[in-house]
Chains A and B, each alone.
Chain A
Amino acid sequence: MLLLTCPICGLEADESSFEPGGQAHLVRPSAAQARETDASLLRDYLYMRENPRGLSFELWLCRHGCGKWFCVARDTVSQRVQATYRIGEAGPRHTLPPDKRQ
């Protein structure tokens, strides 16, 4: 099972205490941007996803803890969680040493 630690309240539990929320760091186009470009900007925001085989940055909800959303850096093949961090913080890039990276 996926074990996660909420970076906000510190809850350390398996995935059944949390809820997945999809890709993190999505930038929603502003109303002005959406107006000035064609629909492809909004389309990309709504639908296009990295879907990586490897390091993934995603949102999770601390459902049985503080109820807040946070970010997780996780390998989608090994399921190894590299880090959990607050929304607004920059995602870690390869915080694992080279021999442990997937």
Chain B
Amino acid sequence: MKRYSFLSLSRHALANHRGWGRAWRKAEPKPAYDVVIVGAGGHGLATAYYLAREHRVASVAVLEKGWLGGGNTGRNTTIVRSNYLRPESIALYELSRSLYETLSGELNFNVMFSPRGVLTLCLTEHELHVMRRHAHAASAAGVTAFMIGRDDIARKEPLLNMGAGARYPVLGALYQPRGGTARHDAVAWGYARAADALGVDIIQNCTVTGIRQADGRITGVETSRGEIAAGAVAVAAAGSTSEVMRMAGLDMPLQSVSLQALVSEPLKPMLDHVIMAGAVHGYISQSDRGELVIGGGADGYVNYSQRGSFAAIERTVAALVELIPAISRIRMMRHWGGVVDMTADRSPIIGPTPVEGLYVNCGWGTGGFKAIPGSGLVFADTIVEGRPHPLAAPFGLDRFLSGAVIDEHAAAAVAH
């Protein structure tokens, strides 16, 4: 890996940047690895990186049926925050958020983490009560997120419709000052480049078609590019998780639905924060390129096509036009969808499975991007130690049996 630095950038600039070479190898699959990770999204790549870096695992492969970061990691609305309700959730998301603070330096790749502040607007009395609980939960967990009033909100975001005639008046907001955004593709590429430099093989265009076991223990995977033996198999396949786990004979409590997003034409800076409006299912922020990045509620029915329906877009944009009238004439440039795996409690599933040597990390639903660094860190630890990392332990698959579910519907914000 050629390190990026002021010196190296200057030197390469003299040759018009033609001398960098590949950011990661085009690795050929080997016959066997210590750990095979299924899915080269942010979570899979981060896991591979921490396996190699923190745990010095000698041989790791990440298998990806498409192109790395081409799933939900490349399709999200780039928000990073940790303003959840349950202490278990806050711990995990705050670990991740704090890793984002120094991630560019860690990976030697600019992930453009921008802690511009997240405003979770309260548009009903009920939301005010709910977000106050979140503020107290944050305080109890040592995370800075607190309630602010109408005057503060109006000062922070003058384009918000705060008038008496607003359909849903802004009553207050939960404000997380060190939440914000990061460049989603850069997170995937940064982890891929750093993992590859540590010897991880990233194998794209390689679909896992079967999971091999013997005596209740994992032995490897079958893929479109041949069989690969593995000491452990870790599935981080988001919307495709149910499919992959069925190859090991396991059912999952997941529903893969479409979550859509759209971006506008580039505009001069007009929104300084991430603005989320749960009651009307719309949220918006402005990227560093000036594009308004807009998202809303998930489409609500199982959908693997990575395309949503126009009805969802219409509802989202209608809500945001009411909230920020200035956007009513802005042209939308691009629109897409992902396949998000939703759990009944809107919390992820991380940990071992009934099959020895098989681990799963999924169920992040509409909120996986913010969790990439933390998730990768605890998942790598879980795989190496053969037991859940303490921060991952509450999110085991067995919680659906014990009843110890972790309900984060409110924290999932717009996309319940």
Contact = CB atoms under 8 A, between A and B. Distances in A.
Interface of chain A, helix or strand or loop or mixed? mixed
A20 B300 contact: yes
Contact of B243 (A19, A43, A53): A53
Given A20-B300, A46-B400, A51 B255 contact: yes
Contacts of A5: none
Interface of B: 240, 242-243, 251-256, 300-305, 309-311, 344, 400-403
Contact of B252 (A40, A51, A56): A51
Interface string A39-72: 1100110111111110010100000000000000
Nearest to B344: A47
B301 A20 contact: yes
B305 A77 contact: yes
A50 B253 CA distance: 8
Interface in A66-102: 74, 76-79
A40 B305 CA distance: 32
Contacts of A1: 309-311
Given A39-B401, A53-B243, A77-B304, A48 B309 contact: no
A14 interface: yes
A22 interface: yes
List 10 A-B pairs, minimum CB-CB distance, nearest first. A47-B253, A20-B301, A51-B242, A16-B311, A20-B300, A47-B400, A48-B251, A76-B302, A53-B304, A43-B401
A76 B400 contact: no
Contacts of A56: 302
A59 B336 CA distance: 26
Nearest to A19: B300
26 contacts: A1-B309, A1-B311, A14-B311, A15-B309, A19-B300, A22-B255, A39-B401, A39-B402, A40-B401, A46-B400, A47-B344, A47-B400, A48-B251, A49-B242, A49-B253, A51-B255, A51-B302, A52-B242, A53-B304, A56-B302, A58-B302, A76-B303, A76-B305, A77-B305, A78-B305, A79-B305
Contacts of B256: 51, 53, 76
B302 A52 contact: yes
Contact of B253 (A40, A48, A52, A58): A48
Contact of A58 (B301, B310, B344): B301
Contact of B400 (A43, A51, A74, A78): A43
Nearest to B302: A76
A24 B393 CA distance: 32
A9 interface: no
